[in-house]
Amino acid sequence: MPGKKIPKDADAYIAAAPEAVRSKLNELRSIIKSAAPSMAEEIISYGMPFYKYHGNLVGFAAYKDHLSLFGAIPKELEPELKSYKTGRGSIQFPLEKPLPRRLIRKIVRARAERNESHQSK
């Protein structure tokens, strides 16, 4: 949703989003950062904020009527996602509904654990 220019960091990405969406983006970013390991790196990838921790962790982006969380969905959490539109490696959270904080934290933690286990092999 932010402009065509690739932002330099997550702050710039959020600042470029429409004002009505910025608080949701900041909330999503805060949830991710609270669940991600402290060593996770926040970068811009594919023009959106993304987190790396032993590989790709999760990314997020704003769209006209939803926010998307990107990253492979852990199989064990798929049943909890039935009320959300999902795609291959993405989950859509409608802007008019509260973000599922607990679920997002579970996704980020599960992805981090998966990345750690792949790293140790």
Neighbours of 28 (CB within 10 A): 23
Structural tokens at position 102: 């607990």
The pLDDT tens digits of the residues spanning 23-63 come to 999 999 999 999 999 999 999 998 999 999 999 999 999 99
Check if the beta carbon of residue 2 is closer than 8 Å to that of residue 8. Answer: no
Burial (CB < 10 A; 0-12, 13-18, 19+), residue 19, is exposed
Q: Please state the pTM of the whole predicted model.
A: 0.91
pLDDT band at 73 (very low <50, low <70, confident <90, very high): confident
Retrieve residue 117's tokens. Answer: 């286990």
- Domains plus CATH for the chain? 10-119 (3.90.1150.200)
pLDDT interval class at 6 (50, 70, 90): confident
The closest alpha carbon to 107, from 73, 61, 62, belongs to 73
Residue 75: predicted pLDDT: 87
Question: Mean of the pLDDT values across residues 106-111?
Answer: 95
Q: Pairing relation of β-strands 85-87 and 66-70?
A: unpaired
At 48, the amino acid letter reads: M
